[in-house]
Amino acid sequence: MEQARAGEYDAFVAARWSVLCHLARLLTGGDRHRAEDLLQEALVKLWFAWPRVADEAPEAYVRTVLARAAARSARRRWWGERPVEELPEVAAAGDLSATVAERSRLEAALARLTPRQRAAVVLRYYQDLPDRQVAQTLGCPVGTARSHAARGVARLRQLLSDVIEPVG
């Protein structure tokens, strides 16, 4: 029983790892380490909820845990960071392809939003969720979710105006 559960769980995590990593990274505004911590926390919770959600929507469960944790992250003062002797790896100069540069600009712009605005925008435009599901995922009224998304997009419109040209 436990073996079968572990096998199904591992298969799901391995199959959706890239997408979930990307979602976590967008939700944290490009902070890779925070994204890994968030995803780890969400997947550990998924393990204990697996008997309930395995047959329904495990990815929706992880998405909800991730989005809510990211949206309330600003209220947490400590992220479990510890000082280290050596700096973690930094991006090497010269390997900035167009995609990487685009992603960096997007993540930097997302990082300028409030956590709830960022979560609403990511759920709306990356997960392609309608307002009702965005609100359900964030655990807030539909109007509040719509307002967060609209304000976040308005801010991104200013920040990314030179990256995203207006399309006629």
What one-letter code names the amino acid at 20? L
Interacting residues of 108 by C-beta distance below 8 A, sequence separation 6+: 29, 30, 159
- Whichever of 56 and 99 has its CB closer to another protein, that residue is 99
- φ, ψ of residue 141 in degrees (nearest 5): -65, 160
Residues between 139 and 158 with contacts to another protein, criterion CB under 8 A: 153, 156-157
Angstrom distance (rounded) from CA 94 to CA 86? 22
- Using CB under 8 A as the criterion, what x/- string covers residues 34-53 for binding another protein? ------xx-xx--xx-----
Among 22, 68, 112, 151, binds another protein (CB under 8 A): 22
Among 8, 125, 136, 140, binds another protein (CB under 8 A): 125
Angstrom distance (rounded) from CA 129 to CA 149? 11
Applying CB under 8 A, what is the total number of residues that bind another protein? 35
- φ, ψ of residue 74 in degrees (nearest 5): -70, -20
Binding site for another protein (CB under 8 A): 10, 13-14, 17-19, 21-22, 26, 40-41, 43-44, 47-48, 99, 102-103, 106, 121-122, 125-126, 128, 130, 153, 156-157, 160, 163-168
